Amino acid sequence: MHVMLIHQAFISPKEAGGTRHLELGQRFVREGNNFTIVASNLSYHSGKQVEPPADGIEQYDGVRVRRAWTFAALHRSYVWRVVSFLSFMVSSVWTALWVRNVDLVMGTSPPIFQLLSAWLVSVIKRVPFVLEVRDLWPEFAIDIGLLKNPALIWFARKLEMFLYNRSTHIVVNSPAYREYLIHKGVPEAKVSFVPNGVDTSLFTETIDGSHLRREFNLDGKFVVTYAGAIGMANDLDVVLDAADRLRDSHDVQFLIVGDGKERTRLEKRTQDMGLSNVTFTGPRPKAEMPQFLAMSDACLATLQDIPMFKTTYPNKVFDYMAAARPTILGIDGVIRDVVEKADGGIVVPPGNADALAHAVAELAHDRNRAIEMGRSARAYVQQHFDRDQQAIEFRDTIQQVAMKGAA
C-alpha cells in the first residue's frame, strides 16, 4: 500500500518540533508499505529554506519526503502567512501528481488550505481522501482573535464543512475533536480517534543531558523547561511573569527551547524586565529533545485561556511524560485529565502567573516528589499513549479506508 500525506508543516528530525507523522510513517513502512510526504521547502517555525538532497527526495528510514515550493512570507504578517499557505496549496498539487501508484491521499489540518490540495489530488488520482484534524480550524483562529471578519468566518466555516463532507474518512488526535465533529453532523462511523502520543523508546534513564547544563550554565539549578513553538497561542508571557515572581529564588532557572513569531518580542521583554532566571536556547533539533528533557527537573506547557484550547492534546506534554519529568500544566480540558490520571504533575489555571510560580517553587523545594511524579507519568504514557500502539490503530484505519476505496 502507498499512502501520500500532504503536510506543509512537516518536521524532520533535523528540525525543531513534533515528528508524529514521521514516526507513524516509519512504522507503516516497516510493515512493507510505502509512505510519501509532500512538504514545504521552508521550515514552518523559522521560515528558512530546507535544502533537499541532489535527487530532490529525502529519506528517513523508508519514508520519502518531496519538497514543494512555498512563498517565503510565513512570518511577515497574518496576511502574508495566508499567501504562503496558498502558494503551497498550489505547488503541492503539482508535486503530488508526480508521485506514482498512490492508494490513498491524506491531508492534515492546520493549515486548512493544504486539505484542498489533498482532496483535489485524491480526485485526480481517484483514490480515497483521509482528513486528519490536529487542531480545530477555524474555531481556534476565531477564539484567539486572528479571524474577526464576519464574511471570512462564514467562508472558513463553509470551507471546513465542505472538506468534512468530501473526505472519505476523518482521523482526529483528541477525543474532544471527535465530539466536535459529531456535533457538526459528521457521522460517527466516519471519525476515528488515534491520539497524540510518544515514542517512549526515545526517552530512557540512560540519556545524559549534563553537557547541556554546562552549555547554558545551569549546574546546581532546578531547571524548568518549556520546549515547543513560541507563538501567540502558547502564552509564554505568563512564564515570564512567573519568573519575575521567582527572581529571588536563585536555584530556579526557566529554559525556553524553541522558536516562533513571539520569540523576539519575548526575549526583549525578558531583557526589559531584567530576568536573569530565563534562558532562551533558540531552535534545537527534535533529535536533541531527549537530552534537553533529561537535564530538566520539571517541564512546562501553557496555552491561552480560551474555550477551544480545552480540546487539544499537545505533543510536548507526552514527550515530558515519556522523559519521566513532571509537567506543570497551564492548560485546562482533556490534557488536564491525562496529567491528573497519571499523577504526573501539577495543574494550574491558564494565564495565572501566581499559581504557576507557586507550582514551580513547590517542586523545587520537594525534588523527591517531582521525581515520583515523573516516574508515574512515564508509566502512564507507556500504557496508554505509546506510539507503537497508535501506529497499529493508524495502519488499521488507513487500510480499511483504502480497501473500501478499492472496492
212 and 358 housed in the same domain: yes
401 and 304 housed in the same domain: no
Please provide residue 166's backbone torsions phi and psi, each rounded to the nearest 5 degrees: -85, -15
170 and 242 housed in the same domain: no
For 8-29, the DSSP string reads TT---TTSSS--HHHHHHHHHH
Question: Domain with 281 in it: what CATH number?
Answer: 3.40.50.2000
Q: What is the pLDDT of residue 407?
A: 63
Amino acid in position 233: A
Neighbours of 273 (CB within 10 A): 14
Q: What is the pLDDT of residue 252?
A: 97
27 and 162 housed in the same domain: yes
First vs last C-alpha separation in the chain: 14
Burial class (CB in 10 A: 0-12, 13-18, 19+), 81: middle
| Cα dihedral 254/259/261/262 (nearest 10) | 10
Instruction: Tally the domains of the chain.
Output: 2
133 and 71 housed in the same domain: yes
The conformation of residue 48, written as its DSSP 8-state character, comes to: P
Q: What is the pLDDT of residue 75?
A: 67
Reading the block at residue 275, the C-alpha cell is 530576568
Q: What is the CA radius of gyration of the chain?
A: 21
287 and 401 housed in the same domain: no
377 and 259 housed in the same domain: yes
Element (H, E) at 161: helix 150-166
How does strand 298-302 pair with strand 327-330?
parallel
75 and 120 housed in the same domain: yes
To which residue does cell 487539544 refer? 312
320 and 303 housed in the same domain: yes
Neighbours of 201 (CB within 10 A): 11
- Across-strand partners of 109? 133
Q: How far is CA 217 from CA 126, 221, 226, 233, in A?
A: 57, 9, 17, 29
Contact predicate 204/276, CB 8 Å: no
163 and 208 housed in the same domain: no
Closest CA to 162 of 129, 116, 124: 116
Q: Which residue segment(s) compose the domain that 300 sits in?
A: 200-384
| Cα dihedral 290/293/294/295 (nearest 10) | 130
10 and 158 housed in the same domain: yes
Compute the distance between CA of residue 373 and CA of residue 359 in angstroms, rounded to an integer: 13
Closest CA to 335 of 308, 372, 357, 295: 308
pLDDT in tens, the chain (407 residues): 999 999 998 988 777 677 888 989 999 999 999 999 999 988 776 677 887 777 778 899 999 999 999 988 776 777 777 888 889 999 999 999 999 999 999 999 888 889 999 999 999 999 999 999 998 888 888 887 778 888 888 998 899 999 999 999 999 999 999 999 999 999 999 999 998 888 899 898 889 999 999 999 999 999 999 999 898 889 999 999 999 999 999 999 999 999 888 999 999 999 999 999 999 999 888 889 999 999 999 999 999 998 889 999 998 999 999 999 999 999 999 999 999 999 999 999 999 999 999 999 999 999 999 999 999 999 999 999 998 888 899 999 999 998 876 66
Q: What is the pLDDT of residue 112?
A: 87
180 and 260 housed in the same domain: no
